Chains A and B, each alone.
Chain A
């Protein structure tokens, strides 16, 4: 079974600064997807960024980028120019590529990000 670990229960960052959230995972599969989801106080899950394991290039979405290290099974999220609206719980998630639409997401424990003005 796959596991996802987020070792930082809480993180804080000053507005306009950069912060990196850590995530490691364990799997014996070679083909999978990794995601970062954001859950603001409204509790609506919002996809921040995704990474296909077969792609070596790190994914980037505006101020959000990842550092995907497949051999080390590490998948960190970097948020640049942090904004007050980035304050939320962030979840790292893993999904197998082999089961199509039936494939479940495995979530990490989450990191609560606070952005200080």
Chain B
């Protein structure tokens, strides 16, 4: 149990276009989902926290108009990179926290590699 999927696993897009990444909890409901960005050989950097039905909370320095997050249901959150540029190329990882108090784990998706040309 506790599987999180991401789609696509790998995407190439042209500079100036937008790309959407989906994060789904397959066998549990998640009130909260997290989006991370990871550069090679570096740690995970939290970009934003999304809660179902409400606006995402962005970390300082993360452009909310560039990285649009929608948490439409208890099993789906999406990250849209708008007007992508080569510097947005990175590995994006989502995680989800199961619904209910006392559950302290986050379950991670397999990540999405974004390359902007």
Evaluate contact between A43 and B42: CB separation under 8 angstroms. no
**How far is A105 from B30 in the complex, measured between Cα atoms in Å?**
16
| Residue of A89, A102, A112 ringed by the most chain B CB atoms within 10 A | A102
Evaluate contact between B108 and A44: CB separation under 8 angstroms. yes
Residues of A within 8 A of B46 (CB): 104-105
Cβ-defined partner of A101 (8 Å) among B38, B41, B43, B98: B98
A contacts with B: majority SS: mixed
**How far is A95 from B91 in the complex, measured between Cα atoms in Å?**
22
Return the chain A residue nearest B100 by Cβ.
Answer: A101
Contact with A along B59-102 (1 / 0, CB 8 A): 00000000000000000000000000000000101010111110
**How many A-B pairs with Cβ below 8 Å?**
57
Evaluate contact between B44 and A107: CB separation under 8 angstroms. yes
Residues of A within 8 A of B97 (CB): 101-103
A104-B34, A107-B44 known; A47 vs B105 contact (CB < 8 Å): yes
Evaluate contact between A110 and B43: CB separation under 8 angstroms. yes
B contacts with A: majority SS: strand
Task: Give the total of B residues in contact with A, Cβ under 8 Å.
Answer: 27
**How far is A33 from B102 in the complex, measured between Cα atoms in Å?**
11
Evaluate contact between A97 and B49: CB separation under 8 angstroms. no
A91-B44, A110-B43 known; A102 vs B104 contact (CB < 8 Å): no
Evaluate contact between B43 and A91: CB separation under 8 angstroms. yes
Evaluate contact between A102 and B44: CB separation under 8 angstroms. no
A101-B32, A101-B97 known; A44 vs B110 contact (CB < 8 Å): yes
Residues of B within 8 A of A112 (CB): 41
Binding site for B on A (CB under 8 A): 33, 42-45, 47, 50, 89, 91, 95, 97, 100-105, 107-110, 112
The 5 A-B pairs with the shortest beta carbon distances in the complex, nearest first, are A101-B97, A45-B108, A101-B32, A107-B43, A102-B32
Q: Kindly list 9 other residue pairs between chains A and B, CB separation below 8 angstroms, not including A97-B104, A109-B42.
A: A42-B110, A43-B91, A43-B110, A45-B93, A100-B101, A101-B32, A107-B43, A108-B43, A109-B43
